[in-house]
């Protein structure tokens, strides 16, 4: 693929110090983000998706968290090594983020308009009036009716979906190269979810260059929105593929398990497939297995899986899988 | 919004009445009232006189019953409790200018007028001595029989005057209108209260913020221990200890022992006057503010810590705002909400605190006045202090709500 790489993440390790021991929330994650793509990150709760995203922004709360190693190459710089001082010009300007909880992500005591124009004034040399004008324009872009009036209202006067629109307005106000959306619709009800995703796609189309990293539980959303998908489990990437490859031929037993747990309408004539949840629970990051992180729940595991961590191998170009049972195309299986 | 506060003000009225009824009844029913005090004084005087003669019989009332009844009438204790309360409020006629009279003999009353009381078919009526054909109505007459059945007739006028008309009565001790006594002393108490209040807030804000930003540091832990120790000691006790340490010859004699100013105050230059005043203020203000500081500091610290871990703080950082702006503008603006809302309540603490602190530092404020009044059963002053106290409490609550509505846009009172 002749795509231009925007971010190169290499062997990222983000740990949390929990009562003296380092819990490996993200442990050796490597991936790229390409210009203009929508990259999905999926995985069950606790798999390290948010920590990966927050690491890109250097927003890991320290203590207890810390980026222990690895590189995050972005525009010739390594974010992992940058000082907090240098991060100020990247956050909100180059990389922006929206969060899962629209109800609590806005400051309750400031007007919505101020919270948008604030980010504009932080990154651009414009006066208050110009920043306010752009903020009203952002409100209009994210589909808030009567933006001049709503500009002067407080977050509690907005519904959850409207607040998430405001968050998107804040995130896109400075035209960042990357927008990270960490489960932006999880807290919203279904019809609102669809509207927000549609809005994101719509805004994306007007920003050819910008990349979106979309973190979600929902594979249906991934199928709809993303170009490429990263599947995470136990702080590690288990599978990376284009969205077509992943849905056509999921390789990792964990990915297959996730796919099997999507409810599908029964096709007429055929018996309805039973919904299959992955058995067992996500292990705590305090005691992950030494071998494959998924071995405690894997239905096809072999003896080797308990002790040896498989490498993330490229089985076809652009499709990476971390599993002892999946060999590169042409190899023995 | 306006209607909300209007309603709150209206609701304060029954609360005010309830509170004052309770205090009024308790105080009036408690033993050792002004009558008993008067009795004791007379007895003591009699004992002294009799002491030389050696015929004093202790414990026996030496006041003639008639004088006692007159005293009762003077203090208004001849009326039932509810009447006394309504009189005090100003909703029941208050008897003034009482003069004991004997039937059919002229009595000089206020204004140089001479009155005669005659028994008519219908009862007693009052005449001007110069015209005994038509009775006058400006003066009233009553006969409360003595215990032995003999007549106890007096003339009087009535008026509606009580706290509702701004009449707090006369102090028994000072023989002066209570309102005058309070007017003199309230500004003094307010000065100390307000300065103590401000000091408490400024110190608590500063300490609380530092403790939150350096959570679990050595400074945080040691200051917590210190605050805990301070919190377990009443302000006046700390004040007394500080006085002993810093204002007496025993240790260091650095600060004045009490009062508002030294004896040579008037002769000082303006600069020295300010220093002199400040020196008198240091210890009392410390005593006033310690009570509030500990709890306000912890409130500030916890509030800021809690807000720093809120999602909107993460959003602010994600926007690329500097740490200073995130903390001092975003988190702080939210953290002061509980402190601001407490302001109205804290004011009442200072009023209560004034009670003994003014005594310890010999400050002529309403706290000391009321404390002395309680000891000597000077009811009008005690009740006036109750009115001030209850009003501050009620007003403090409303002020708190008002401040809360100002600082928190989510609060809209309807
Ligand atoms: N501030 C923190 N302190 C301690 N542990 C943390 C912290 N943040 C995350 N973790 C741990 O890191 C691991 C990964 O968390 P992360 O939030 O990345 O999961 P996730 O994949 O985003 O899950 P979810 O779908 O629930 O958001 C979890 O086990 C979590 O307990
Ligand atoms: Mg998450």
pLDDT tens digits along B236-261? 888 888 888 887 777 777 777 766 66
Packing angle, helices A112-123 and A160-172, rounded to 10 = 10
Compute how many other C-beta atoms are within 10 angstroms of the C-beta atom of residue B42.
Answer: 16
Whether residue A300 contacts residue A252, with contact meaning beta carbons closer than 8 Å, is answered with no
Task: Provide the 8-state DSSP code for B170.
Answer: B
Closest by alpha carbon to A116, among A72, A152, A88, A89?
Answer: A152
Cα distances from B20 to residues A166, B86, B93, B344, B393, in angstroms, run 53, 11, 19, 20, 13
| Cβ of A64 below 6 Å from ligand 1 | yes
Beta bridge partners of residue A98, listed in sequence order: A181
- The predicted pLDDT at position B234 comes to 85
Q: Residue A26 CA: which ligand 1 atom is closest?
A: 14
Residue A84, φ and ψ in degrees, nearest 5: -60, -35
Whether residue B334 contacts residue B300, with contact meaning beta carbons closer than 8 Å, is answered with no
Q: What is the mean pLDDT of residues B126-145?
A: 84
Residue B93, φ and ψ in degrees, nearest 5: -60, 135
What Rg do the C-alpha atoms of chain A give, in angstroms? 21
The count of C-alpha atoms lying within 13 angstroms of the C-alpha of A208, restricted to the half-sphere facing its C-beta, is 2
Whether residue B103 contacts residue B116, with contact meaning beta carbons closer than 8 Å, is answered with no
Instruction: Report the run of H or E that residue A214 belongs to, with start and end.
Output: strand A211-216
| Cβ of A48 below 6 Å from ligand 1 | yes
Please tell me which residue of chain A has the smallest CA distance to B309: A61
What is the rounded CA–CA span in Å between residue B407 and residue B336? 8
What is the rounded CA–CA span in Å between residue A37 and residue B281? 69
Closest by alpha carbon to B394, among B17, B27, B4, B2?
Answer: B17
Closest by alpha carbon to B368, among B188, B242, B163, B168?
Answer: B188
Q: What is the mean pLDDT of residues B343-348?
A: 80
- The predicted pLDDT at position B134 comes to 83
CA B272-B274-B275 angle, to 5 degrees, is 65
Q: What is the mean pLDDT of residues B368-378?
A: 89
Q: How far is the CA of A268 from the centre of ligand 2 (A)?
A: 37
What is the rounded CA–CA span in Å between residue B137 and residue A9? 103
Residue ranges in A146-285 assigned as alpha helix (H) = 147-150, 160-172, 190-205, 219-225, 243-248, 253-260
* Chain B: residues touching A (Cβ < 8 Å): 310-312, 314-323, 330, 333-334, 337, 407-410
Please tell me which residue of chain B has the smallest CA distance to A166: B315
The shortest CB-CB distance from A99 to any of B311, B330, B334 is to B311
| Cβ of A63 below 6 Å from ligand 1 | no
Is 0.90 topped by the overall pTM?
no
Whether residue B208 contacts residue B301, with contact meaning beta carbons closer than 8 Å, is answered with yes
- The predicted pLDDT at position A273 comes to 63
Cα distances from A239 to residues A230, A251, B84, B240, B371, in angstroms, run 6, 8, 88, 74, 80
What is the rounded CA–CA span in Å between residue A54 and residue B311? 13
Query: Ligand 1 pocket: which of A25, A63, A218 to mutate (most atoms <8 Å of CB)?
Result: A25
Distance from CA of A163 to the nearest CA of B (A): 12
Is pLDDT at B262 greater than 70 in this prediction? no
CB of A99 less than 8 A from some CB of B: yes
Is residue B231 very low, low, confident or very high in pLDDT (cuts 50, 70, 90)? confident
Structural domains of chain B, with CATH = 62-167 (no CATH), 178-407 (1.10.3720.10)
Whether residue B98 contacts residue B74, with contact meaning beta carbons closer than 8 Å, is answered with yes
Is pLDDT at B58 greater than 70 in this prediction? no
Indicate yes or no: CB of A122 within 8 angstroms of CB of B317: no
ipTM surpassing 0.85: yes
Compute how many other C-beta atoms are within 10 angstroms of the C-beta atom of residue A9.
Answer: 22
- The predicted pLDDT at position A332 comes to 43
Distance from CA of B339 to the nearest CA of A (A): 15
CB within 8 A of A13, min separation 6: which ones?
A24, A26, A27, A28, A29, A67, A68, A69, A70
Q: How far is the CA of A79 from the centre of ligand 2 (A)?
A: 21
Q: What is the mean pLDDT of residues B405-410?
A: 88
- The predicted pLDDT at position A265 comes to 67
Q: What is the mean pLDDT of residues B315-331?
A: 94
Element counts in chain A: helices (H) and strands (E): 11, 12
Q: What is the mean pLDDT of residues B12-20?
A: 90
Q: Residue A53 CA: which ligand 1 atom is closest?
A: 18
Whether residue A110 contacts residue A154, with contact meaning beta carbons closer than 8 Å, is answered with yes
Query: Ligand 1 pocket: which of A49, A57, A222, A235 to mutate (most atoms <8 Å of CB)?
Result: A49
A-B Cβ pairs (cutoff 8 Å, strict): 72
Indicate yes or no: CB of A109 within 8 angstroms of CB of B315: no
User: Higher-confidence residue: B291 or B373?
Assistant: B373
Q: Which residues of chain A have pLDDT under 50?
A: 1, 331-333
Is pLDDT at B59 greater than 60 in this prediction? no
What Rg do the C-alpha atoms of chain B give, in angstroms? 29
Q: Which residue in A90, A95, A97, A107 has the most chain B C-beta atoms within 10 A of its own C-beta, making it the best mutation to test that interface? A: A107
Length reported for chain A: 333
- The predicted pLDDT at position B190 comes to 87
User: Does residue A19 have a cis bond before it (omega within 30 degrees)?
Assistant: no
Centroid of chain to Cα A38? 10
Please tell me which residue of chain A has the smallest CA distance to B337: A109
Indicate yes or no: CB of B319 within 8 angstroms of CB of A91: yes
Please tell me which residue of chain A has the smallest CA distance to B410: A156
| Cβ of A46 below 6 Å from ligand 1 | yes
CB of A91 less than 8 A from some CB of B: yes
pLDDT in tens, B182-199: 999 988 888 888 888 899
Cα distances from B326 to residues A89, B313, B317, B331, B351, in angstroms, run 15, 7, 7, 6, 37
| Cβ of A234 below 6 Å from ligand 1 | no
Element counts in chain B: helices (H) and strands (E): 13, 6
- The predicted pLDDT at position A1 comes to 47
CB of A120 less than 8 A from some CB of B: no
What is the rounded CA–CA span in Å between residue A327 and residue B118? 129
Is pLDDT at B129 greater than 70 in this prediction? yes
């Amino acid at each position: 693929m002749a795509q231009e790489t925007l971010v190169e993440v290499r062997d990222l390790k983000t740990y949390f110090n929990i009562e003296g021991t380092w819990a490996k929330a993200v442990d050796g994650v490597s991936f790229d983000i390409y210009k203009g793509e929508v990259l999905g990150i999926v995985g069950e709760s606790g798999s390290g998706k948010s920590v990966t995203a927050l690491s890109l922004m250097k927003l890991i709360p320290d203590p207890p968290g810390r980026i222990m190693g690895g590189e995050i190459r972005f525009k010739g710089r390594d974010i992992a090594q940058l000082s907090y001082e240098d991060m100020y010009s990247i956050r909100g300007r180059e990389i922006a983020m929206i969060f899962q909880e629209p109800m609590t992500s806005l400051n309750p005591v400031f007007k919505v308009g101020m919270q948008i124009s604030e980010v504009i004034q932080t990154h651009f040399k414009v006066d208050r009036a110009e920043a306010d004008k752009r903020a009203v324009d952002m409100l209009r872009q994210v589909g808030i009716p009567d933006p001049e009036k709503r500009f002067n209202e407080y977050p509690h006067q907005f519904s959850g979906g409207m607040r998430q629109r405001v968050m998107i307005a804040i995130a896109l106000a400075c035209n960042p190269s990357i927008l990270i959306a960490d489960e932006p619709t999880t807290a919203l009800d279904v019809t609102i979810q669809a509207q927000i995703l549609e809005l994101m796609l719509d805004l994306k189309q007007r920003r050819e260059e910008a990349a979106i990293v979309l973190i979600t539980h929902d594979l249906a959303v991934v199928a709809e929105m993303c170009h490429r998908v990263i599947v995470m489990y136990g702080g590690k990437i288990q599978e990376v593929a284009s969205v077509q490859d992943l849905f056509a031929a999921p390789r990792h037993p964990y990915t297959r398990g996730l796919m099997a747990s999507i409810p599908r309408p029964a096709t007429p004539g055929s018996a309805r497939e039973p919904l299959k949840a992955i058995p067992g629970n996500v292990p705590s990051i305090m005691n992950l297995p030494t071998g494959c992180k998924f071995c405690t729940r894997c239905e096809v595991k072999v003896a080797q899986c308990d002790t040896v961590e498989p490498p993330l191998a490229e089985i076809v170009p652009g499709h990476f899988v971390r599993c002892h049972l999946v060999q590169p195309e042409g190899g023995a299986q | 919004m306006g209607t909300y506060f209007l309603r709150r003000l209206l609701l304060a009225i029954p609360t005010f009445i309830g509170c004052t009824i309770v205090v009024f009844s308790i105080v009036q029913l408690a033993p050792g009232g002004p009558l008993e005090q008067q009795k004791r004084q007379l007895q003591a005087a009699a004992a002294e006189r009799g002491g030389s003669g050696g015929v004093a019989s202790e414990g026996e009332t030496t006041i003639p019953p008639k004088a006692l009844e007159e005293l009762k009438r003077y203090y208004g204790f001849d009326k039932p409790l509810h009447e006394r309360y309504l009189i005090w409020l100003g909703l029941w006629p208050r008897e003034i200018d009482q003069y004991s009279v004997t039937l059919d003999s002229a009595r000089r009353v206020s204004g140089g007028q001479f009155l005669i009381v005659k028994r008519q078919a219908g009862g007693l009526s009052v005449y001007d001595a110069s015209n005994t054909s038509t009775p006058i109505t400006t003066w009233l007459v009553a006969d409360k029989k003595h215990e032995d059945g003999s007549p106890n007739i007096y003339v009087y006028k009535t008026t509606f005057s009580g706290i509702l008309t701004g009449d707090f009565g006369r102090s028994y001790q000072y023989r002066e209108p209570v309102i005058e006594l309070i007017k003199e002393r309230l500004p003094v108490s307010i000065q100390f209260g307000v300065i103590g209040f401000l000091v408490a807030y400024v110190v608590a804000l500063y300490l609380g913020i530092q403790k939150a930003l350096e959570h679990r540091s050595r400074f945080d832990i040691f200051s917590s221990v210190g605050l805990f120790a301070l919190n377990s000691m009443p302000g006046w006790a700390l004040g007394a200890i500080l006085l002993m340490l810093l204002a007496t010859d025993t240790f260091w004699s650095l600060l004045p022992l009490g009062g508002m100013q030294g004896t040579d105050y008037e002769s000082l230059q303006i600069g020295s006057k300010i220093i002199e005043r400040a020196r008198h203020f240091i210890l009392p203000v410390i005593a006033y503010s310690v009570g509030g500081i500990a709890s306000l500091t912890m409130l500030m610290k916890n509030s800021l810590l809690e807000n720093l871990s809120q999602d909107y703080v993460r959003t602010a950082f994600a926007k690329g705002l500097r740490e200073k702006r995130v903390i001092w503008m975003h988190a702080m603006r939210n953290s002061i909400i509980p402190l601001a809302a407490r302001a109205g309540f804290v004011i009442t603490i200072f009023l209560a605190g004034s009670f003994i602190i003014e005594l310890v530092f010999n400050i002529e404020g309403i706290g000391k006045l009321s404390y002395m009044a309680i000891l000597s059963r000077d009811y009008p002053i005690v009740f006036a202090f109750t009115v001030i106290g209850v009003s501050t409490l009620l007003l403090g609550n409303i002020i708190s709500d008002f401040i809360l509505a100002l600082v928190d846009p989510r609060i809209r009172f309807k």
